[in-house]
Amino acid sequence: MDGAHEKTLAELAAKGRLRALTHTSGRDFTSNDYLALADSPALRDAVAAALARGVPVGAGGSRLLRGNHPEHEMLEEEAASFFGSETSLYFPTGFAANAAIAATLPRREDLIIHDALIHASFRDGLDPGRINAVEVPHNDVGAIADAITAWRFAGGRGKIWIAVETLYSMDGDRAPLADLKALAARRDAMLILDEAHATGVYGPQGRGLAAEFEGAPNIISLHTCGKALGVMGALVTLPRVLRDFMVNRARGFIYSTAPSPLMAAATRAALAIAAGAEQERAQLQALVRQTAALMKTRLGLAASGSQIQPIIVGTDARAVALAAAMQARGYDIRAIRPPTVPEGTARLRIALSLHADSAVLEALFADLAAEMEKA
């Protein structure tokens, strides 16, 4: 080794951006387990029942070889019915699914337009040698329209693909979905909607913020299973022809060992649980409203309006110091720093879930206000 790796790690440490794995401790305000399903008795029972009926733990190979299992197929059928799409395709992770969508579906002659805050997984699928991609300012529908016009004027003749998150993972704000849907219809564009942080939490039966759009021929949605659903993997809901194309061309699907059949069985159960979790969603929204009030009274800040609440503090050092102080007080809150978020916007990311209650929220914001006065 020539020391390049050590040098890079030292530079990260000097900037306050060196990452390390830590054990979980304290009240959970970090995970995406919004409905508190990950360790729930209901999912434990579903896994035990699947094991009892002989569902294997491992797949043993890719789905195009020997790894395809009836549990995968039943999950995909049930997911398509639940979300209202023509078909669905199950991936081992949301990252793999997002990267596969970006890398596989747009053709060389097409154009991808994506929001500036789109997830890293989508960006990783964009091969600059093959794919023409344009980044536009966050939630700026006018900029998307302008990018389409400019590309067409310059001679672009392929398909337009617009990629956004319905609920952004680090800012907690929503995409202007109605405007995006209307623009896609006017310009004959495909709309890729990452519902990762909305699935299970919003929409009828927890079907997401874009539930009313599902099933349209120009809609592709990504529903991750490792957040509010409490399990693992991701479901891409899409037209059948595009599903078949991904089965034949998506390298992240073709050359990857299939997801665990046991996890597919658990995901089937999680969808059924989410469908009936209206009371739990109402409880979570009550916490969101309480957080908005506490943000205003305790910190003098406006809230995001969702279960993801960023507290932007600016510098990496201040974010790290505040996170450490809150951890010492018994809250699992982490600092989020560039490059995950833009330069100068280091923050605490507070994720609300049913692991907390009203009293804990009151204490959290009282303690956070005290620590922010010191920092």
**Active centre residues (catalytic):** 32, 119, 165, 169, 194, 197, 227
Exposed/middle/buried for residue 214 (C-beta within 10 Å: 0-12, 13-18, 19+): buried
What gap in Å lies between CA 256 and CA 89, rounded to an integer? Answer: 14
Q: Tokens 């002989």 identify what position?
A: 54
What gap in Å lies between CA 308 and CA 167, rounded to an integer? Answer: 9
What is the chain's alpha carbon radius of gyration, rounded to the nearest angstrom? 21
The closest of 225, 215, 218 to 195, measured between CA atoms, is 225
Q: Retrieve residue 248's tokens.
A: 């034949």
Name the β-bridge partners of 287.
none
What gap in Å lies between CA 337 and CA 253, rounded to an integer? Answer: 31
Q: Tokens 């399903």 identify what position?
A: 37
What gap in Å lies between CA 121 and CA 118, rounded to an integer? Answer: 8
What gap in Å lies between CA 347 and CA 244, rounded to an integer? Answer: 41
